Chain A
Amino acid sequence: MGDSTTQVHTSCHGKNLSRREVLRLGGALALGGGVAGTLKWHHQRESGSRASVFIAQASGYDDDLVRVISTALAELGIGDAEIKGKRILLKPNLVETSPGQRHINTHPSIVVAVAEVFRRLGAADIVVAEGQGHRRDSLLVLEESGMDRALAGAHLPFVDLNHADFAEVRNRGTETGFSTLFIPKPVLSADWVVSLPKLKTHHWAGMTCAMKNLFGIMPGLVYGWPKNPLHRAGIAQSIVDINTTVPTSLSIVDGIVGMEGDGPIMGYPKPTGCVIIGRNATAVDATCARIMGFDPNGITYLAAASGRLGPVREENITQRGAGVASVLTPYDLVDAPHLRNVRAPRVAPETA
């Protein structure tokens, strides 16, 4: 990592902390799923950091999602001139399965629709890839989630990132203390990595969306099941470093039915009726936080990413399509001390 003793704009209960102290606290609190902690970065300067995020309303998975996503991409200025000949890696959130619990994972219809949009734009190659954090048997998750059938029907290959060949690359982030990260070669060889997360709460991080979704590119062969070294380094710190090292080109969030409560696995379905799309994952996640009724400034990883990886402040994000207010759906969140900063002040808990 960089200068680990440098005082950074970091506070915990109003007390300034060195980066080393931040990292130590994050690691000590981590266990399996890890704890986000109550650390809160002050905002970095966001001057010059601006992004557009498109919110598309969609009432269900039977909607014409190809049209919805095509429209959004056009609004964001993404067309065939940019996509033609590109190798696209789609990274859904495919965590685990339980009968009747389809809201755990990115819906197959979203994945297939996104692939179709990229095909129409002339992509040379499209693969779907995931490396589950809890389950080594990705094939079983694919089968039980219905993703296997959907991908076969759309002639889309799947790559198991947990067991793919990998390479050691320099960690371009500075938060975890890792000098290098191990990244699967299919991710490194893609021209565009597209994050396709599910809109969900996360019982340690507050929420999981486009940025946290990239935990799934980290190979289990090196990081284990769960990916414990990343948790010990701190979830927020790891999110920032992974996204710094492997920036996504686009994020498309399945917010048609999200998950509230004890996410990312044990929560309840939350119909939200939207798909959130943007080139900048930080801006997309900040927008998603607002849609969920959360304060993005209270999400540790977003506070850490602010200004460095993208904008978090509302005034720096150009909302296109539907407005946040029109799809605002306050999400229930587990009642835990480490998440007390997440709830947006304007959303009273009793109404969430």
Chain B
Amino acid sequence: MNRMGTSWQSELISRLAGAAAPTGGWGYHPGGIESSEPTALAVLALSAHEEHAALCARGLSWLASIQNDDGGVPVVPAVRAPCWPTGLCLLAWVKSQTPAGGAHDVPTRSATSWLLHTQGTPIPPDTRLVGHDTTLIGWSWVADTHSWVEPTAVALLALRGVGQQEHARVREGVRLLVDRALADGGWNYGNTRVLDNTLRPFPAPTGIALASLAGEPENACVRAAIRYLHDALHEVRSPMSLAWGLIGLSAWNARPSSSDKWLAESAVSSASRKQNCLNDALLLLAGDLETAGALLSEVG
């Protein structure tokens, strides 16, 4: 895949760039309330394209403008919490290939501090109810709730991105993800067993978790997750699941040979739906290994 990309990528880049709000952020849909998650991912996806450098710089500034004093970045400006997208914003500030990327040292330090001081709530273990170790601490979606897979994986990606891969919080986060892996491969939102039943894996959290574990020694749960995604992604054309799945596999050099074809099919299909900026950004990140490397560049 070259940097110029294919026609679907060119169309997606134009479409995503055109969806930026006048204030600098992106909503989940054009015209929707600007939100931190699609903005961070849109900047990451567009930052490799010089013609959109100014757009990305405005996006980064917009993210900084809504950051709370404690470093957390709320989902939308109208609320102070939850701040689970903070890790993605941190990645955008430190990884975007724009001249403005280095202009955000203060929000970067502040977001790093927020991530290191924010944690999910452990729960006294009760193996009759659930299968995972409820005492391990990762990251939660919402303050004062339990740790779950996606926010933990995003925090790991971000903290690795600022060189914190040996921090005790990161090491415990890695242990949490390994503990939450399903025995037959993959991850879901974060419950392995409830009462007597083992739950099912989903592609998107599996991809995010795999990406966040890149750089760790390959182990049985990683191999099982790769096998799961290789089986599952054949049938998946939904942008979010396909893109995160491929980003996760790419992190372990296990990208299927048909990936580009699947991405093109997904992009064509999504073009017939109401535009979703988050999905557009994810497809672009998954379609361009160099750009996707922004999520993973400090690992391996």
CA distance A161 to B141 in the complex (A): 17
Of B16-24, B48-56, B109-117, B196-204, the segment with at least 4 beta carbons within 8 Å of chain A is B196-204
Q: Does B47 contact A (CB under 8 A)?
A: no
- Say yes or no: A136-B240 contact (C-beta < 8 A), given A223-B141, A228-B141: yes
Contact residues on B (Cβ < 8 Å of other chain), bracket: 35 or more
- Within A21-77, the residues touching B (CB, 8 Å) are 31-33, 35
What 1/0 flags go to B144-172 for Cβ under 8 Å of A? 11101011000000000000000000000
CB <8 Å contact, B82 and A96: no
Task: Assess whether A308 is interfacial by the CB under 8 Å rule.
Answer: no
In the complex, the answer to whether B142 meets A266 with C-beta atoms within 8 Å is no
A226 (CB) vs chain B CBs: closest residue: B189
Are B145 and A136 in contact (CB-based, < 8 A)?
no
Interface residue total, chain A, C-beta cutoff 8 A? 34
**Contact between A232 and B189, CB atoms less than 8 A apart:** no
| A191 interface residue (CB < 8 Å to B) | no
Interface window among A137-145, A317-325, A344-352: A137-145
Answer yes or no: B86 CB below 8 A from chain A CBs.
Answer: no
Which residues of chain B come closer than 8 Å to A163, judged between CB atoms?
Answer: 28, 276, 278
Q: How far is the CB of B23 from chain A (nearest CB, A)?
A: 15
- Is there contact, CB below 8 Å, between A222 and B82? yes
B200 contacts A136, C-beta separation under 8 Å: no
B230-245 residues at the A interface, CB under 8 angstroms: 236-241
Given contacts A33-B191, A165-B32, contact A228 B146 (CB under 8 A): yes
Known: A31-B146, A140-B203, A165-B33. A224 touches B84 (CB 8 A): yes
Q: Which chain A residue has the least Cβ–Cβ distance from B242?
A: A140
B1 interface residue (CB < 8 Å to A): no
- Whether the Cβ atoms of B142 and A224 lie closer than 8 Å is yes
Q: Which of A32, A98, A229 contacts B142 (CB 8 A)?
A: A229
Which residues B191-234 have CB closer than 8 A to chain A?
191, 194-197, 199-200, 202-204
Q: Which residues of A contact B200 (CB under 8 A)?
A: 96, 98
Q: Which chain B residue shows the least CB distance to A334?
A: B195
The 0/1 profile, CB within 8 Å of B marked 1, for residues 229-240 of chain A is: 100100000000
Chain A residues, CB < 8 A from B191: 32-33, 226
Inter-chain contact B195/A224, CB cutoff 8 Å: no
Given contacts A32-B130, A35-B129, A134-B189, contact A228 B140 (CB under 8 A): yes
Tell me whether B145 and A134 are in contact (CB under 8 A). no
Are B35 and A224 touching (Cβ within 8 A)?
no
A–B pairs, 13, beta carbons within 8 Å: A31-B126, A32-B190, A32-B194, A139-B239, A140-B202, A140-B238, A165-B33, A168-B78, A203-B194, A203-B195, A221-B35, A225-B141, A232-B145
